[in-house]
């Protein structure tokens, strides 16, 4: 079962209601929180709160843009004038002229272009709102399904990347365990080059001090723990996008510390390889809900 959803998707839905067509286009992209934006005909603006609530039931994060288009079809659809709205507009214009002492005349075409002044008389508001809400439910279902499919693909990619991370950690563990012996060998080699004798006890103390400063086993342990936790999140009900984002930040911090402690070319290279994989993981996590 897939528990991971992407934040990017697209869905559309259309219905023929006889005298008019309704069509939804819904897009979602990455965002820190859930943000919904609706573009609706003015005579359907009242259903926006219920649509927003419907989106919250399906989605937890992402920026969602939803556009509803209404197209009248067929014959016998005479235009109807909203006389009440026209009266309100004229009254508002007269009040504005009185309060500002503006000398102006009414532009009939401007009034006719006002949203909602002209409408098709045979399109019933109740019928429209019900059809639009039902169609949006279908579109948002399709969007959530697409986000789930893409999320499953992302989870698969991340699982592979986590396996690569674990493989790198496995190669670093022996290097960390043999650190003291490497430090001792280097000090002896350096002493031989300088042709000086080193007290065995003092050599042991210096080796212990250097090994302590360069010990990366703690970082390796934390890297392994965070990697394991990431796997658990990918396989459990979410959303986990924010948690995984935090884990990636911690992985990157531990990898940086490991790199700064590196005392050999091999360890330093392994640390760089770790950071490359972690960056790849970060790019994937940015898409998760």
The whole-model pTM stands at 0.69
Q: Based on the domain organization, do 186 and 108 belong to the same domain?
A: no
- Give the pLDDT score at 264: 72
SS3 78: coil
Residue 122 pLDDT: 46
Domain check: are 52 and 163 in the same one? Answer: no
Type and span of the H or E element at 34: strand 34-39
Whether 1 is in a domain gets the answer no
CA distance 201 to 188: 13
Q: Is residue 154 included in any domain, yes or no?
A: yes
Tally of structural domains, the chain:
3
Q: Let me know whether 141 and 259 are in one domain.
A: no
Looking at the structure, tell me whether residues 164 and 275 fall in a common domain: yes
Residue whose token pair is 């723990």: 225
Distance separating alpha carbons of residues 277 and 273, to the nearest angstrom: 6
- Please, are residues 72 and 123 in contact by the beta-carbon 8 Å criterion? yes
Cβ–Cβ under 8 Å, residues 122 and 154: no
For residue 168, give both structure tokens: 């790198």
Do 165 and 233 reside in the same domain of the chain?
Answer: yes
pLDDT recorded at residue 2: 76
Record the tokens describing residue 181, joined without a space.
Answer: 């012996």
The confidence score (pLDDT) of residue 150 equals 95
Query: Can you give the residue range of the structural domain that contains 100?
Result: 79-112
Find out whether 34 and 59 touch, Cβ atoms under 8 Å.
yes
Note down pLDDT in tens along the chain; length 289 residues: 778 999 999 999 999 877 778 999 999 999 999 999 999 987 788 899 999 999 999 999 999 999 999 887 655 455 667 778 778 877 887 777 777 766 666 677 777 777 777 665 445 667 788 899 999 999 999 999 999 999 999 999 999 999 999 999 998 887 766 555 555 556 556 655 555 566 666 656 555 555 555 567 788 889 999 999 999 999 998 889 999 999 999 999 999 988 877 777 788 888 899 999 999 999 999 999 9
Question: What's the confidence (pLDDT) of residue 102?
Answer: 63
For the domain that residue 209 is a member of, what is the CATH number? 1.20.140
Backbone angles phi, psi at 71, to 5 degrees: -130, 120
Distances (CA, A) of 48 to 22, 27, 34: 15, 16, 16
The rounded distance, in Å, linking the Cα atoms of 88 and 265 is 80
| 188 plus 279 within the same structural domain | yes
Q: Are strands 34-39 and 62-72 parallel, antiparallel or unpaired?
A: parallel
Per-residue buried b or exposed e for 74-94, using 16+ beta carbons within 10 Å of the residue's own CB: eeeeeeeeeeebbeebeeebe
Q: Which residue has the tokens 């992407």?
A: 6
14 lies in the same domain as 84: no
Return the pLDDT at 281.
95
Cα–Cα dist 125/109, whole Å: 25
Do 46 and 140 lie in one domain? The reply is yes
DSSP per position, 109-164: HHHHTSTTSEEETT--HHHHHHHHHHHHHHHHHHHHHHHHHHHHHHHHHHHHHHHH
């Amino acid at each position: 079962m897939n528990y991971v959803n992407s934040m990017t998707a697209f869905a559309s839905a259309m219905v023929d209601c006889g005298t008019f067509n309704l069509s939804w286009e819904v897009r979602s992209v990455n965002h820190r929180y859930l943000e919904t934006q609706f573009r609706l005909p003015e005579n359907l603006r009242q259903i926006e709160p219920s649509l927003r609530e419907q989106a919250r039931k399906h989605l937890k994060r992402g920026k969602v843009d939803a556009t509803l288009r209404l197209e009248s079809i067929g014959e016998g659809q005479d235009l109807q004038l909203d006389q009440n709205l026209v009266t309100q507009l004229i009254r508002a214009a007269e009040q504005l002229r009185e309060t500002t002492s503006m000398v102006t005349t009414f532009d009939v075409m401007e009034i006719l272009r006002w949203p909602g002044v002209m409408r098709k008389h045979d399109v019933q508001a109740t019928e429209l709102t019900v059809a639009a809400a039902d169609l949006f439910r279908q579109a948002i279902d399709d969007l959530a399904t697409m986000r789930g499919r893409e999320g499953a693909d992302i989870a698969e990619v991340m699982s592979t990347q986590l396996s690569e991370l674990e493989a790198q950690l496995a190669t670093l563990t022996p290097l960390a365990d043999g650190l003291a012996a490497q430090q001792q060998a280097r000090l002896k080699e350096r002493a031989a080059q300088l042709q000086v004798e080193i007290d065995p006890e003092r050599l042991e103390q210096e080796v212990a001090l250097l090994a302590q400063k360069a010990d990366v086993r703690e970082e390796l342990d934390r890297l392994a723990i965070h990697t394991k936790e990431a796997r658990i999140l990918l396989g459990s009900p979410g959303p986990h996008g924010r948690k995984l984002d935090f884990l990636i930040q911690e992985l990157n911090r531990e990898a940086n510390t490991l790199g700064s402690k590196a005392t050999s070319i091999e360890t330093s290279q392994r640390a760089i390889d770790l950071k490359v994989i972690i960056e790849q993981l970060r790019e994937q996590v940015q898409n998760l809900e």
